[in-house]
Structures are given as C-alpha cells and as structure tokens.
Chain A
Amino acid sequence: MTEHLELCAPFADPTPAERTAAWLRAATPARIFTGRAGSSYHTATLLALRGDHAAARDAVSTPLDLDAPGMAALADRFPWTVVATMADSRHRYLRRPDLGRRLTPQARQTIRAAHGPGPDVQLVIGDGLSSTAVHAQVPALLPLVHEGCAVRGWSVGRPIVVRQCRVGVLNEIGDLLDPAVVVLLIGERPGLATAESLSAYLAYRPRPGHTDADRNLLSNIHRAGIPVREAASRIVGLVEALMADGRSGVAVKEPAALES
C-alpha cells in the first residue's frame, strides 16, 4: 500500500503517461500491473506482501482499547455499556466462535440493569477480528448513525460494547432488549490492504436461532472502501427498509443508493 500511495503523490513535473499511471493506481487498491520476474514477483512486490501480512497478523491480536483517543471521546458523548462474551481469551475466541456468540451471565445482567427494553434501534460495537477497524471507523461512524436515527424520530438505546464479539451476539441482544432493529458495528478480519475495514450487520427483531439469512450486511467500511459518511447514510436507509418490511435478511434488498 505504501508503495501505491507514494506513487500517487504529486510528481514535480509529471508526464502525461505518469499522470495516467497515477490515475490508474487510484482506481483500485488491488496490486495491479506490478511487473514480472519470469512468472514471479519482483523482489519489492514479494517483500511488500510479506510486510503487509506481518501487519495483518499483528492486528488480529491487538485488543480493543476504549481509552484510545477517538474511543474515549466517543464514550463521553455516548456513555456505553461494556460487556464480554464467553470467549475469555483471544486464542479461545479464534478457535471457538460459539463462545463469541454468547454473552457471559454477568454481561446479560449488566445489560438488563442498564438498558430499558424496546428501543427502535440498538447500536452495538464489537471488536470482531480487528479492533484496529473499530478504533479507525467507529468514532466517526457512530455519531452519524445515531444522528440519522434521531432525525427520523426513532428511539436509540445507549450503545453496547462487546469484547471478543461474533455476529451471533445480535440474537442475544434482541432476546434481552427487544429492539426493532439491532445494528452491530464489528471489525472484519484484516486483509493485506487494510486492517481498518468495518462491517455493519443489521437484524430486525433478532432472536436465538436466527442466522445470516436473517441479517443484512454492509461491509468494507473504510477509507478506501465505503467512507463513513456514505456508510452511515446506507445503514440508516437499511434500518428504514427493515422497519418498513417488518423483517430483515436476504428478502430485503438495499434501497438504491441514497447518496454517494
């Protein structure tokens, strides 16, 4: 990636071909037209791949840091409830997705004590496979989604932060609080190009036993994917579609883009 960015930087006096090359690089984050050594990579390409894989491997093991600057400021605006799943370590989380879908008994108690039932929308933040993605996107995304919901007159529950979180946690939140729609913002597994990609999973009145077929997904929320402003507007549009249909899942298609 760094290689790409450097070449996108303004040249002192770019030739038309150089300008076109820079424009081509900006068209996709994919590592296109990197050249060849025989049928193999140039050494620089090979080592760039190794470096990015090393960074992604490290991102998987980074814990969610609620004291990071952007996250701490967010907590001041939206006082949240912090809970954990039954996956009590990163190693267990990676090998036991079933545990990452279940809240601890303590977490269920905490949520019951701190939250009233039946908001229109409940926002949930989960570390998933990349806390780096949560640190990067949630501070900007959460207020926009919250505002979009408030403007439409929906009641929005205080956010819930779930550590060692899998998507299936949606079902438990639905069971505990009975919101109309739950929106889960969760870190995607890191790729080589970025460890900052976030997904939003939406479910209408989720309940134990619901699966991905009952959910709607907006993925690739990051700087080079779907930027947060567009993501927020599409999430709110999806919430609206789910409420209008009274259901979620593959039967509900995302409305045509509200804005770009």
Chain B
Amino acid sequence: MVYRSTLRGERFTFATLPELLAKANEVKSGDQLAGLAARSERERVAAKLALADVRVAEIAATAVVEDAVTEAVSVPADPASFAEIASLTVGELRESVLEPGFRQRWSGGLHATITPEIAAACAKLMSNLDLVVAAAPLRRTTRCRNTMGGAGVFGSRIQPNHPTDSVRGIMLSALDGLAFGCGDAMIGVNPATESVPVIGEVLRGVHELIARLGIPTQSCVLAHVTTQLAALEAGAPVDLLFQSVAGTEAANASFGIDLGLLARGREAVLAHHAERAGEFAGDQVMYFETGQGSALSAEAHHGVDQLTLEARAQAVARLYDPFLVNSVVGFIGPEYLADSVQITRAGLEDHFVGKLMGVPTGVDVCYTNHADADQNTNDNLLVLLASAGCTFVMAIPAGDDVMLNYQTTSYHDVVSARRTLGLRTAPEFEFWLAEMGIRCDGRPGSGAHGLPTSLAELASALEDSGALRALLPGGVA
C-alpha cells in the first residue's frame, strides 16, 4: 500500500505504513539516528496529511513488525467495541478523542480495543496542547495497597536511591520525602547491584518503614525481574514486581525477558500476596518502565519509529494489568531525545498514548547532563503533565539522583505542582498524612506531630523518638 499526499502543490509518496508513521513523527534525534525521520519539514507535514486519511481499520490490519509482541498487543481485543472506531480516519479519530463526550466511550471499554499503532498514529496528528486536553479526563484507577489514578490525584514515587544500596541512606531519603507528603505511588528503589541478598535487604528495609509508620503505599525494588523473584523465593516481601519493557520481542530479549516470564512473575507475586492476607486493596501488582529509544538502543527497532514502539511497550505493560507504568522520558540521552523541546514533546506523547490505551501512565520528568536541557525546562514539563492528569511523577531529594546520575523532579517540585494546580495525593495516603500531621500544601506539619523537615529537626527527633531510631539500621551515632 502506497500512501500519497500533496502539500502546497508538492507531491509526496510513502511506501509503507511504518515509513508513513515514522515520517509523520515530530522531530526526534532517535528517529534521525535510525534513518527513519522525515528529510524535510515539508515531508513531515505531508506525512501527517497522508496519515490523517488512513482508516483506523487499516492500521489495525497492518503488522508494523512480525513478532510475538505484535501478536500479543496489535489485535483489537473486542471486535464489537472496535467497530465503533474502525471506519474512522486517523484525522477523524483525533477529533473524536478531543470531544468532551469521548471519556464515556473510552471508559465504556473502547480503551481496551485501541492498539498501540492506532494510539501512536493519533498522537502524531496532535499538538502539545491537544495531548494535554485529551489525556486529562482519561483517568485509570488501580489498586495495590492504595488507590491511584482518582480524579484530582497527582501521585509521586519516592525514589530514594543510594550509590551503594545503603538501607540507612535509603531510609533517610524516604523519610525526607514522606515529610513532604510524597510517596503515595510507591517507595521505589533503583538498586546499584543485582545481588539477590542486597535486593532482599532493601525490600525488607522499605517494607519495615511502611509497616512501622503504617503508610498506605507500596514498596518496589527495581532489579531485574528474575532477581526480584529470586529475592521473593528467599523470603523477601514484594509489593510490586518491576520490569523495564520495550516494544519489540527482540528489544525485550535484550532486557533478558519475554512475555511468558512476565506472566509467571505476576502469578508468583499474586500467590505471595495471597499469603499476606489483609495487606492489599487490589490485585494490580505490576510496575513497568518504558521510554522512547529503548528498542533502537538495543538495535531491535525493525525500522519502526520510537513513538510507535513506545506505545507498543506500554501495550506490553497493559497485558499484565499494571498498577502503574512509568515512561522515563529524558533518561536515555540526547541520541534519542536531543533537547528539552524533544523531551517535552515525548513526555506528553507517552502519557497520552498510555492513557488512550487505558494504561495508568506516569512520567519520570527528567534529563541527563549530556542533553541540552536543564531544571527550568524540566519544571515546564512537570507543570504540563500535572495539568494533563499524569498519574504520578518521581520525587527525590532536590531532584538529584545520586545513583543513576540524572535529574528528575524533587519533593519540593511535586508539592509546588500540587499547590499551583490544586491537586492531591491518593485518598488513603491523604488520610494517613492527616493522621501524621503532615500537610500537603508545603506548610510545615502541626504541633508535636508530623515528620521533621530539616536536618536539625530530624536530629532532635531521632533523640526523642525510639520509633524513628528503629527505622535506621545500625542505630544512630
């Protein structure tokens, strides 16, 4: 099938659907690196024009990659529901998604029938503000130990990483975040090692923190899925099972995973939760991370652009009924997203395609020191995504990850965004904050309650409180 369009009298042709999808993408250094990007701005817009006339049914009938991921995620789940959109063009689908009434149809089951290629095609025709206004009403509610995704809830994952996985260092960073009212999405640690005993120790440490303070949140240690399962086997408590996923079978193989392994992992964690009766509010036990460029980075993109592959990665996550999914948008580096303009666009796209497919998507709003971005541009994307109803973002001390060596959003940033836009934490978590005397609006806690907010307060609190001291392994000097 050849696709054609005419822009200002100039004729353009596109030989295949993957070529059309790639050239209709906004500028991404990764698509250029892969040799897939439009060769001129005119060609880019011509591709958008041609894509706007393609029928949704045709996209669903075309495999952009022949692999196990396509078989699992690119066939509309419910033919009856899919019939509602099958005869629309992509241009008409965009307009339909922007209608206020779309939310009812979406929550009535349409989200499950939207394939990643359809979601990506739609995003390619949308402006940045379209991506915000369309995503905002699409709320996906999920439950593990608490409830994420409700109206007005802007969650945050405390990411208390430490360069050597010191449990004491991790606890101190987490306490700082809790004192800010962060951490309803999870307390999720990226470990520096894949050692099973160390992963077990960190899992037990975070579990202990949550248990002692009675926090309605969930723990996660983001080791490889096989390492977490080995720690679980060895007796460590696992709330959420994590894995990075990508949009092709070959890229997932480079991560050391396949779809069967993820399914078996989920079963193992569900069985483990069944033994911890009363601790869980729901059966959503998986946490996935994605990000544009990961398939290309593994040399496994098969000539498909990075937005389409990102949508496929989130569709892989969707197979396992995830609690949360996180697009780590600026982490991968300037060879895939060169600067803040590209990172901003990709963050809005990733969030929108996830939500359109019914995925509880959050975004790690971040950048590395070798990309042309800075904390000011990061602030901008945080406010855009908070406005777009983003499920959660990261929260770490001063936005500076001392293990992964990149910058993301801070405890301060999360509270500032919540204050500015009138957003709140998960309901169970909000109740806990009130009990603890921690305020969510940036003001210090009241009276004798609350958690310390400065090092001096923490030092004296540790002298007074055996409960706080008990959280720090090895005691206090």
A contacts, CB < 8 Å to B:
16-21, 23-25, 27-36, 38-41, 45, 49-50, 52-53, 56-57, 59-60, 94-98, 129, 188-194, 197, 211-213, 218-220, 222, 224-226, 249-251, 253-254, 256-257
A/B pair count, beta carbons within 8 Å: 192
Please, which residues of chain A bring their CB within 8 A of the CB of B160?
A: 30
Q: Is the CB of A191 within 8 A of B406?
A: yes
Q: Is the CB of A213 within 8 A of B256?
A: yes
Please, which residues of chain A bring their CB within 8 A of the CB of B196?
A: 253
Interface of B is mostly: mixed
Bound: A53/B164 CA distance, A: 22
Bound: A53/B369 CA distance, A: 7
B365-416 residues with Cβ-Cβ distance < 8 A to A are 368-370, 374-375, 396-407, 410, 412, 415-416
Q: Is the CB of A191 within 8 A of B405?
A: yes
Q: Is the CB of B33 within 8 A of A95?
A: yes
Q: Is the CB of A94 within 8 A of B335?
A: yes
The answer, yes or no, to whether B227 is at the interface (CB within 8 Å) is: yes
Taking the closest CB of chain A, its distance from the CB of B297, in whole angstroms, is: 7
Bound: A27/B173 CA distance, A: 10
Sample (17) of A-B pairs whose CB atoms are under 8 Å apart: A17-B460, A17-B463, A20-B463, A29-B402, A38-B416, A41-B412, A60-B369, A60-B370, A97-B297, A188-B405, A192-B407, A211-B298, A226-B163, A250-B224, A251-B256, A256-B195, A256-B197
Q: Is the CB of B399 within 8 A of A49?
A: yes
B418 and chain A: residue at smallest CB distance: A39
Partner of B335, one of A28, A95, A193, A220: A95
Segment with Cβ contacts to A, from B13-21, B115-123, B345-353, B447-455: B447-455
B404-446 residues with Cβ-Cβ distance < 8 A to A are 404-407, 410, 412, 415-416, 419, 441-442, 444
Bound: A58/B423 CA distance, A: 38
Q: Is the CB of B254 within 8 A of A211?
A: yes
Partner of A226, one of B164, B398, B462, B477: B164
Q: Is the CB of B396 within 8 A of A30?
A: yes
Partner of B254, one of A33, A129, A213: A213
B454 and chain A: residue at smallest CB distance: A35
Q: Say yes or no: A33-B415 contact (C-beta < 8 A), given A27-B168, A49-B399.
A: no
Please, which residues of chain B bring their CB within 8 A of the CB of A18?
A: 459
Q: Is the CB of A253 within 8 A of B230?
A: yes
B316-336 residues with Cβ-Cβ distance < 8 A to A are 333-335
The answer, yes or no, to whether B343 is at the interface (CB within 8 Å) is: no
The answer, yes or no, to whether B271 is at the interface (CB within 8 Å) is: no
A41 and chain B: residue at smallest CB distance: B412
Bound: A41/B164 CA distance, A: 27
Q: Is the CB of B415 within 8 A of A30?
A: no
Q: Say yes or no: A49-B398 contact (C-beta < 8 A), given A20-B463, A28-B162, A94-B370.
A: yes
